[in-house]
Structure 1
Amino acid sequence: MELGEIDLNLLLLFHRLMQERRVATVAEQMNMSQPGVSNALAKLRRRLGDPLFVRGPGGVVPTPFALRLAEPVAQALATLRGALNPVTGFDPLRATSTMTIGMTDIGEVVFLPALLERLSREAPGVALNTVRHSGVNLGEQMADGRVDLAIGLLPQLKGGFYQRRLFDQRYVCLFRRGHPLEEVPLTLASWREAEHLVVVSAGTGHGQVEESLKRRGVRRQVRLTVPHFMSVGYILQRTDLIATVPERRALQLAEPFSLSLRGLPMTLPAAPIHLLWHERVQQDEGNRWLRGVVIDLFADQVRQGRRAKVGEE
């Protein structure tokens, strides 16, 4: 028998009769007449090919087939009831789930330590998974639920997404301590003449630095190009190369790798770093809780970013 051949109301009636064993009581509970209950039961009997209930002292008695059917039907109805009427309220202390965040390699360094520290205290059962912006179709994976949030400069996420501005990322110049540029003013000429380490991070917004320099016709001596920020500290520590790096990353690299950072000799646009999520999880309580944690940890409180749908004022 196919499920489409059974009316869900007939299974509800069967479940109530199993519980009450009286037609009159079930009729009252389901706002039906007693003949209506009898007619519905007759229809179910025909569908299942079994009497299901027979007359007994003070009510009806289930047949052996009905007894075997009772528990699976009760479980199925409970599952449906739970899905259609979810328990409200997200309790991070009790939650057990894995949440996926799209971010860059530099994002992992900047965001994950503080985020994991907070989760270990407030949501010990919540695990995190990260994916690279450049490694997946981020918009598609957020739309179908494989990625819960994204953090970064992501102008490609437009219709159907919400965003919250976290902070504006400035860029600075980074080089080893003892570098010839450390004791002199960093001019545009000295910056151009130095040998540069350039990070070309595909699929992220950091490419706007290169675009801005090209528009201005600013040329420099590029000695090395790498696809991510993870090796920057190691390379600068042992060479005379300099790099243009997001300020928060530069601050993290300076002490461990004995590096110095200086303001750039030209003005570059700051990168607006956003928290983004798809409209399908706008009302999801677990997602809302995680968004709140990210905002609490990383949002620039001086610039109060407003939450708005991408593309809307």
Structure 2
Amino acid sequence: MNINESDFRGIDLNLLVTFLVLYREKSVSVAAAKLFLGQPAVSSALGRLRELFGDRLFVRTAQGMQPTSRADYLAQRLAPLLGQMQDTLFHSPDFDPHQSRRLFTLGMADWVEICLMPPLLARLHAAAPHMRFNTLATTPYQDRELLEQNQLDMALSVTTESAPWLQRSVLRTEAFVVLWHPQQLAHPAPLSLDDYLACDHLLVTYRSRAHSAIDDLLVQRGRSRQIRYTTSHFSALPGILQRVPVLTTVPSVLASAWQTHYGLCASPLPFDLPSFELSLLWHLRLDGDPARRWLAQQIAAVLSLSC
């Protein structure tokens, strides 16, 4: 933005509006009525306009107030500028998803990407054929910072962090489900606690440690489980389950899809563990963005269904 701030020091936007109404109506009294002002106020504004532009601007004649050549020039230039300003200030920008070429950067864990992106892209194939997506693998410990740094447009996250600028919409509530492959383990469902603890486990962790809320809960009960393998990627688990006699615990929406695709067995946890919320997060600066709002609606619609 290349402007000289000092040039605008003595300018009142209302004066420019008054000038354009005077130019259109050619009458102080009519302009005053249109502006819901008294005639003295409009006459005073005209005096300030004459001083500002160094020109009489209007000359009284039998046909009304006639504009000077300077007034004609100003009206031709100011009318479209103020019209554009009015449109910018008081009209929301149009958004046509079918024409949009917007690139959205979304942050999410891979289990969310597995469940969300195939049905979302299928849904948008016709509705927004030119919209593009860049997905970043994020963790609940990164999402707030990445949004604050403007590296993400939105994040799908289980984080409970908050900030004055952080906007949140809960998409769905998830429970945890235990999975195994029937050719590797012959346990009936639902699993007993003893069966659960007798097996080795796969654990997804984002902090490079073989420990989770499940392990905290078991320790409180004087029990423990054996973690055989840790990873930060849920996508690695089905292939391991098909080949190794182990259990893994995953969000219920993922478990439902994997039972169908990989022939896995499923069971509720053999103890109570609080559910968690998957939320859509975005920065307050994008709250009024019609494209972001539209995409958020599409994401919520997809995740309201079973993936």
SS of equivalent to 1:201:
coil
SS at match of 1:262: strand
Partner of residue 262, structure 1 = 266
Cα distance per residue 1:196-228 (max 9 Å; x no partner): 32110359xx94334333433433332321112
Q: Which of 242-251 and 207-216 deviates more? A: 207-216
Structure 1 residue 232 corresponds to structure 2 residue 223: no
Following TM superposition, by how much is the alpha carbon of 1:261 offset from its aligned partner in structure 2, in angstroms? 2.4
Name stretches of at least 5 consecutive residues in structure 2 with no aligned partner: 1-5
RMSD: 4.4
The answer on whether the counterparts of 1:102 and 1:138 sit within 8 Å (CA) in structure 2 is: no
- Are 1:168 and 2:186 matched, yes or no? no
Q: Please name the residue that 1:306 is paired with.
A: none
Structure 2: distance between partners of 1:71 and 1:208? 69
Which of 19, 32, 44 aligns to 1:27? It is: 32
8 A contact 2:143–2:155 mirrored in 1: no
Contact 1:22-1:60 within 8 A present in 2 as well: no
- 1:2 corresponds in structure 2 to 7
Deviations 1:1-56 (A, max 9, x none): 43231011111122223434444542332244555434322312322334444567
Contact 1:139 1:157 survives alignment (8 Å): no
Q: Provide the residue aligned with 2:162 in structure 1.
A: 157
1:8-157 aligned at under 5 Å gives the runs 8-32=13-37, 36-54=41-59, 58=63, 59-64=65-70, 66-87=71-92, 102-122=107-127, 130=135, 132-134=138-140, 136-138=142-144, 141=147, 150-157=155-162
- Which secondary structure does the structure 2 equivalent of 1:231 belong to? helix
Q: Distance in 2 between matches of 1:98 and 1:273?
A: 27
TM-score using structure 1 length: 0.69
Q: Deviations over 1:126-147 (max 9, x none)?
A: 65555534474527837x9886
Give the whole-Å Cα distance in 2 for the aligned partners of 1:213 and 1:243: 15
SS of the residue corresponding to residue 179 of structure 2 reads strand
Question: What one-letter code is carried by the residue in structure 2 that aligns with 1:252?
Answer: A
C-alpha separation in 2, matches of 1:138 and 1:289: 22
Q: 1:226 to 1:214 in 2, by over 3 A?
A: farther
Amino acid at match of 2:202: L
> Gapped runs of 5+ residues in structure 1?
302-313
Cα offset, 1:101, TM superposition: 5.1
Q: Is residue 115–residue 294 contact of structure 1 (8 Å, CA) maintained in 2? A: yes
Q: Does 1:221 align with 2:222?
A: no
SS of equivalent to 2:264? strand
The alpha-carbon distance between structure 1 residues 283 and 136, as it changes in their structure 2 partners (threshold 3 A), is closer
Q: Residues 112, 265 of structure 1: CA spacing in aligned structure 2 closer, same or farther, 3 A cutoff?
A: closer
When structure 1 is superposed on structure 2, of 99-108 and 290-299 the one drifting more is 290-299
CA distance in 1, matches of 2:74, 2:212: 63
Change (3 A) 1:165 1:36: closer
CA distance 1:73–1:114, shift in 2 (3 Å): same
Asked whether the 8 Å contact 1:102–1:147 carries over to 2, the reply is yes
Q: Counterparts of 2:41 and 2:225 in 1: how far apart (Å)?
A: 87
What amino acid does structure 2 have at the position aligned with 1:262? A
Q: What is the percent sequence identity of the aligned residues?
A: 27
TM-score by length of 2: 0.71
